[in-house]
Structure 1
Amino acid sequence: MTHRFYLRVYYEDTDLAGIVYYANYLKFIERARTEFVREMGIDQTALKAQEGIVFAVRRVEADYLSPGRFDDELLVETTTEAVTGARIVLKQEVLRDGETLFSAIVTLVALSDTGQPARLPANIRLILH
């Protein structure tokens, strides 16, 4: 399954040259991941309250391929690459009119409320497969 999240580049997202500031791609893919998880039926607030589990980014491998610009309409596509007992690996791409501008492999881990590694509940592993 591929999740799609659309956004527009605002002035505040750009640098002096009018192109997307590199760190903002991380914000864009974070928003897309939040919506991806929500649309999969995972309530992160309830997960924290009931299970004491939160997701944290462990690793991002990113490629900046072409610049986004002010007023572009972008699409973030998110797909699940792997799910283990405590880890989720996602591929995320930011596209403009079918052209990939930014690509990332993001590794998320499950953490307990004390910050220690935690196992993902079985129902969440099933949802994300």
Structure 2
Amino acid sequence: MASPTARATVRVRYAETDQMGVVYHANYFVWCEIGRVEFFRQLGHDYRSMELEDDCHLPVVEASCRYRTPARYDDEVVIETRVKLLRGPIVKFGYRLLRIGAENEVILAEAETTHICVDRNMQKRNLPSRYAEAMRETMTAQE
């Protein structure tokens, strides 16, 4: 059975921080994208094939993020990604962004993105079955 949560790690770059040395808020959504790409890769799929071979694109139609603790330059950030909802062409991902320390992990932020599956002409379509089945399997593992 597939793991319900995929994990990816990034290290905060200086360019991602603001004048106060805190990660600029929009960068969390870049990290969510890294998490989604790694989620598909850990399922044995990749975004490039999904787009080129299956004409399946997943634009973001809604995004939210609850910031809890600031991330700073050189922090190691773990992105946990899971599927929260899969219904027809709609996919919702949930994310936890964590700073992992020697003795504990701190939740930096929790985010969600909602996507609509479309073809290259931006016409709504259902997610191809091989991706939908793999994603549903991770949702079953969460229960």
TM-score, normalising length from structure 2? 0.85
**Alignment-derived partner of residue 56 in structure 1:** 59
Matching residue of 1:117: 124
Alpha carbons 1:94, 1:101 under 8 Å: kept:
yes
RMSD, aligned α-carbons:
1.2
Q: Within 5 A, what are the aligned runs for 1:1-129?
A: 1-97=4-100, 98-129=105-136
Q: Is the 8 A contact 2:70 2:108 kept in 1?
A: yes
Deviation for aligned residue 1:120: 0.7
**Alignment gaps of 5+ in structure 1:** none
Equivalenced residues, count: 129
SS at match of 1:32: helix
- The structure with the greater share of residues assigned to strand is 1
Q: Amino acid of the residue matched to residue 69 of structure 2? A: S
Q: 2: CA distance between counterparts of 1:47 and 1:86?
A: 14
Q: In 1, distance between residues paired with 2:26 and 2:112?
A: 15
1:16-73: per-residue Cα shift (whole Å, max 9, x none)?
1111011111111111111111221223222222332211111112111111011111
Report SS of the residue matched to 2:53.
helix
TM-score (norm: length of structure 1): 0.93
Identity of aligned residues (%): 29
Indicate if the aligned counterparts of 1:84 and 1:125 stay in contact, CA closer than 8 A. no
